[in-house]
Amino acid sequence: MANLFETWSLDREIVLVKLLNHPRDKVFAAWMDPKALAEWYGPAGLSIENHEADIREGGVWRFDMVGVFEGQEQRFPNLMRFLEIVPNERIVMDYGTPDPNDPDRFRTTVTFDEQADGKTVLTMRQLHPSPERRQIVIGFGAVEYGLQTLDGLAAWLDG
């Protein structure tokens, strides 16, 4: 599946951008701390339950997003495999379920661009396995959920 992500393709891409009122080293640090990640990561209304958090190149973050829907607790298992971490600049990871053969796994690249005023532009680029898969995740709300995640990061940094 690695070949799938060698060529970037706009028809498979989702890009989310957030201007954060904090310097890039602080924004980057929020991604490197497993306890912090569990506090801000994920869509509104869901909590994070960490199972494994080895946040380094070659490491993984295995967690559940947990929410209550129609009175029933639901868990959504997730796994990020960290491929590249350049401090204060970039994080590259594969993101999917814990299933090693997850056909819907996608590549995410997060960049941290510090502005002259001490703010940071965070850009999160997702590259999905196919244009069809991209449309499916957009259809179930991935853009809105991603923006809620970045809003959660902003609120956590502000707090």
CATH number of the CATH domain containing 94:
3.30.530.20
If one counts the domains in the chain, the total is 1
| pLDDT, position 23 | 98
DSSP character at residue 4: G
Query: Which of 100, 106, 82 shows the shortest CA–CA distance to 31?
Result: 82
d(CA 130, CA 1): 12
d(CA 83, CA 81): 6
State the pLDDT confidence band at 5, using cuts at 50, 70 and 90: low
Q: Are strands 72-86 and 120-127 parallel, antiparallel or unpaired?
A: unpaired
State the pLDDT confidence band at 8, using cuts at 50, 70 and 90: low
What residue numbers bound the domain in which 76 lies?
2-158
Residues linked to residue 73 through DSSP beta bridges, in sequence order: 68
